[in-house]
Amino acid sequence: MRVTCHFVPPVAPVPPAVTAVVIDVLRATTTLTIAMAHGARRVRPAATPEQAFALRRRFPDALLCGERDGRRVEGFDLGNSPAEYGATVVAGRDLIFASTNGSQALLAAHRARRRVLAAFVNASAVLRAIEAEPEVVLIASGKLGRFSLEDAALAGWLCAALERRGATLAGAAARAALALAPQAAAAVRTLVEGASHGRYLRRLGPEFAADLAVCASLDTLDRAFEV
């Protein structure tokens, strides 16, 4: 296996032969993983709220989901909180998803042979889902085109685990991510809660602090999902 890493979504779409692992710990891939675990049928990413509303006209039964600056977009059905995506809300439904950062990473991976959601909540399940793939690209969503610690740390966690299984880490980003990999659940929580975006979410209010606690948990779900 060959593993490469992007700390922000690449400008050019990833090649179609690869397996793309999309990472947005706070909060898109955590939220979407929980939504899929609760029976959501499909995720349709949109780059902007305007594109999301246009998709809604094509798929009127889909739920409009996402955020800007952490808060639900006006006119959307759901925001970007894992707590909103319970089974009674999302089971059997398509999700049109327009978040600030995670949607951009999903769109960058749209040509990939497989597009796997990754978060700390299902990190080991993601590892099992991709460990036999010949070519893996880890795409961290970052924040507004810039590096984000929590996404790079999960990329590092996956790089370390895959390297132990014999994978070759190609490129400077994959090697750099190794240095950021937390080793245990307590280290994951400390890193995610202490990251700049984690501190930002906490300042938004108690419901966002509750989201942060969910996103900072390691291996609370035992399934990986493709979108």
- Tens of pLDDT, residue by residue over 50-107, are 999 999 999 999 999 999 999 999 999 999 999 999 999 999 999 999 999 999 999 9
Return the half-sphere exposure (C-beta side, CA atoms, 13 A cut-off) of residue 74: 0
| Residue ranges in the chain assigned as alpha helix (H) | 28-37, 49-58, 87-90, 102-108, 123-130, 149-164, 172-178, 185-194, 196-204, 206-215
Phi, then psi, of 164 in degrees rounded to 5: -60, -25
Q: What is the pLDDT of residue 179?
A: 94
To which residue do tokens 């006119």 refer? Answer: 75
To which residue do tokens 């996402």 refer? Answer: 66
125 in a domain, yes or no? yes
166 in a domain, yes or no? yes
224 in a domain, yes or no? no
Residue type, 116: V
193 in a domain, yes or no? yes
227 in a domain, yes or no? no
Residue type, 76: F
| Per-residue tokens: 29 | 């891939």
pTM over 0.95: yes
92-105 burial by CB neighbour count: b if 16+ within 10 A, else e?
A: ebbbbbbbbbbbbb
For the stretch 208-223, pLDDT in tens is 999 999 999 999 999 9
Q: What is the pLDDT of residue 106?
A: 98
CB count in 10 Å sphere of residue 16: 9
Total domains, the chain = 1
- End-to-end alpha carbon distance in the chain: 22
Please report which confidence band the pLDDT of residue 187 belongs to, taking 50, 70 and 90 as the band edges: very high
Distance CA 58, CA 75 (A): 16
Please report which confidence band the pLDDT of residue 128 belongs to, taking 50, 70 and 90 as the band edges: very high
Q: Which CATH number does the domain housing residue 63 bear?
A: 3.90.1560.10
> What is the domain range of residue 210?
2-215
Nearest alpha-carbon partner for 20 in 95, 130, 172? 130
| Average pLDDT across the chain, whole number | 97
182 in a domain, yes or no? yes
